Amino acid sequence: MDLKEYLKNPDKEKLFENTFSEIKKIQEKYKPFITISEEHARKYLEEEKGDKDFLLPISVKDNICTKGIKTTAGSKILENYIPPFDATAIKKIKEVGYIIGKTKMDEFGFGTFCLNCAYGIPKNPYDVGRSCGGSSGGAACLTSALKLPHIAIAESTGGSISCPASFCGVVGLTPTYGLVSRYGLVDYASSLDKIGVIAKTCFEVAHGLTKIAGYDSKDSTSINRKSEDYTKYLKKDISKFRIGVPKEYFDNIDEEVKKEVWRAIKKLEGEGAKYEEISLPSTKFALPSYYIIAMSEASTNLARYCGIRYGMTKEIKGSYNEFFSEVRGEYFGEEVKRRILMGTFYRKAGYRDKYYLKALKVRGHIIKEFKNEFKKFDCILAPTMPIIAPKFTDIALLSPAQQYAMDILTVAPNLCGFPHLSVPCGKSNGMPVGLHLIGDHLQEGKILQLGSWV
């Protein structure tokens, strides 16, 4: 049952009981949660006045602060951290739902397969031997397994919503940078982080986005504009749509994935949309530019975790530098340390010009290249991921650089702050394939409109 059906005949008590009995089973089988917050949800449901019938189960990625519910960002260093406040997006979504739990993620969002989580690895409901994708792996895993109305609040920096949505066969929307307030989002790379939505259908995703979007004076990068109802775009006529299909996004792609994506494009053509092949030659620069910027910012954002004010700590011994190193050395995972070291290097005096500042210039160039295409096209379509969800045994053989390369298709729209939507568009080998729809800034309506026809 999806949200649209449920809203015709809502029964909040039944939904609540069903949800918690279901997610306990799901947690046994696929392990998408770090924390299940049943007591918290029950209390909230009892206290909440107003339009109770429409309160929905909401899961939240564990890097988004929830007042009174442990928020770890997938890291040991925040194992005991209970935020004193709700993130703005959480405050907003609580008007239409209750929080059922906090979902697994790669530590601080650092990963493509959700293997870098300090609290265990979620398993793909389509094949438990395969990855759910990352970093919002728990959110997509749960969404895929839970057959009840539910919205997952997730977050993307370089593809962390699209990738797991694609691998788990669900819909994932990453909005325009600044459309949803980041206040209360545990920062990975502040100029790239976006809170978004994962759900089973475009309707649920649009419903969720409508609730969490909007200006917030506590986030200086938040966009001040009139709010809108994104569900109104769904299934609207697309015969005037013009679609760009960039050829670079089909290089080195799994043949089966390519086939499914083209089938989806043809289907949209059947609905009246016109497509054209285009070229985005700077694509190859997006990956290094993204990783340099993301790691540079991450290495400063994570500096605050040092055992003094919150989070895990140790007995204070030695100089402050020794103490910080002890705490950080013990509680940060390997991938976190790798990215902090690389990020610190990229912004070091003497290398800063060559890496960090260069990456910013490349970013500007890529935005221009896309913007130019958006003058002619409403949407740009591509595969979300170059492969279907990989087996854990295969991932083990990949080097960090090869893992980073998996983000090749998702980093550009993230780097540019463009809204993008991954929708399931077929299967290969029994595993879901995702179609990626990229829109111009603030054109969430268009990608949802087109996506609803896939």
Partner 1 sequence: MQEIKIGLEVHVQLNTESKLFCSCPTSQAEPNRNVCDVCLGFPGTKPVLNEKAIELALKIGYALDCRINKKFLFSRKTYFYPDLSKNFQITQLETPVSSGGKLNIKDNKIRIRRVHLEEDPAKIIREEDHVLLDYNRSGIPLVEIVTEPDLKSPREARIFLQKLQQILEFIYVGDFSKEGGIRVDANISMTKYESKYGYEEGLVEEKKGGVRVEIKNISGAKEVEKALNYEMLRQKNLLEVKRETRLWNEKTKITISAREKEEEDEYGYIFEPDLPVIELSDKILNEIQSNLPELPESKKRRFLKYKISPEIIDTLLTEPELTHYFEYLCETHNEKASAVLLAKYLKRTLNYHNLKLKDVDIDVRHLRRIIDLLQKYLITDDVAEIIIREMVGDHVKGKKVREPEQVLRDLKYEKPLEEERIRKFVLDVVRENTKAVKDYKIGKKESFDYLIGQVMKKTGRRASAKRIKELLKREVG
Where on the chain is the footprint of partner 1 (CB under 8 A)?
A: 64-65, 71, 73, 78, 81, 83-85, 87, 182-187, 189-191, 217-221, 296-297, 299-300, 303-304, 306, 308-310, 316, 320-321, 324, 344, 347-349, 352, 356, 360
Question: Using CA atoms, how far apart are residues 85 and 410, in angstroms rounded to an integer?
Answer: 31
CB 265 to partner 1: min, Å = 35
C-beta of 1 vs 303, nearer to partner 1: 303
Measure the N-to-C terminal CA separation of the chain; round to a whole number of Å: 19
The yes-or-no answer on residue 428 being catalytic is no
Give φ, ψ of 187 to 5 degrees.
-65, 135
Per annotation, catalytic residue among 12, 31, 37, 61? 61
| 361, amino acid identity | K
Contact between 213 and 246 under an 8 Å Cβ cutoff? The reply is no
- Give me the long-range contacts of 340-346 (CB less than 8 A, separation at least 24): 340/295, 340/298, 340/299, 340/302, 341/299, 342/291, 342/295, 342/299, 343/294, 343/295, 343/296, 343/297, 343/298, 343/299, 343/300, 344/299, 346/292, 346/295, 346/296
The yes-or-no answer on residue 200 being catalytic is no
Listed residue (113, 36, 38) closest to 70, CA to CA: 36
Give the chain's length: 454
Question: Using CA atoms, how far apart are residues 130 and 141, in angstroms rounded to an integer?
Answer: 11
CB 370 to partner 1: min, Å = 20
Contact between 385 and 410 under an 8 Å Cβ cutoff? The reply is yes
Question: Using CA atoms, how far apart are residues 207 and 449, in angstroms rounded to an integer?
Answer: 13
CB 299 to partner 1: min, Å = 8
CB 197 to partner 1: min, Å = 18
CB 176 to partner 1: min, Å = 15
Per annotation, catalytic residue among 37, 135, 181, 299? 135
Per annotation, catalytic residue among 59, 131, 136, 160? 160
CB 70 to partner 1: min, Å = 12
Torsional sign, CA 229, 234, 236, 239: positive
C-beta of 32 vs 83, nearer to partner 1: 83
C-beta of 44 vs 345, nearer to partner 1: 345
C-beta of 96 vs 360, nearer to partner 1: 360
C-beta of 90 vs 202, nearer to partner 1: 90
Q: Two tokens at 25?
A: 């089973």
C-beta of 143 vs 313, nearer to partner 1: 313
Question: Using CA atoms, how far apart are residues 447 and 247, in angstroms rounded to an integer?
Answer: 20
Question: Using CA atoms, how far apart are residues 178 and 221, in angstroms rounded to an integer?
Answer: 6
C-beta of 118 vs 199, nearer to partner 1: 118
C-beta of 143 vs 157, nearer to partner 1: 157
Q: What is the DSSP letter of 4?
A: H
C-beta of 257 vs 298, nearer to partner 1: 298
Contact between 439 and 379 under an 8 Å Cβ cutoff? The reply is yes
Question: Using CA atoms, how far apart are residues 11 and 252, in angstroms rounded to an integer?
Answer: 48
Residue for token digits 């609730």?
211
CB 364 to partner 1: min, Å = 13
Q: What is the DSSP string of 26-59?
A: HHHHH--EEEE-HHHHHHHHHH--S-GGG-EEEE
Question: Which residues lie below 8 Å from residue 362, measured CB to CB, with a gap of 6+?
Answer: 282, 285, 286, 288, 289
CB 320 to partner 1: min, Å = 5
CB 142 to partner 1: min, Å = 22
Question: Using CA atoms, how far apart are residues 357 and 374, in angstroms rounded to an integer?
Answer: 26
- Residue 180, judged by CB atoms within 10 A of its CB (0-12, 13-18, 19+), counts as buried
Residues annotated as catalytic are 61, 135, 160
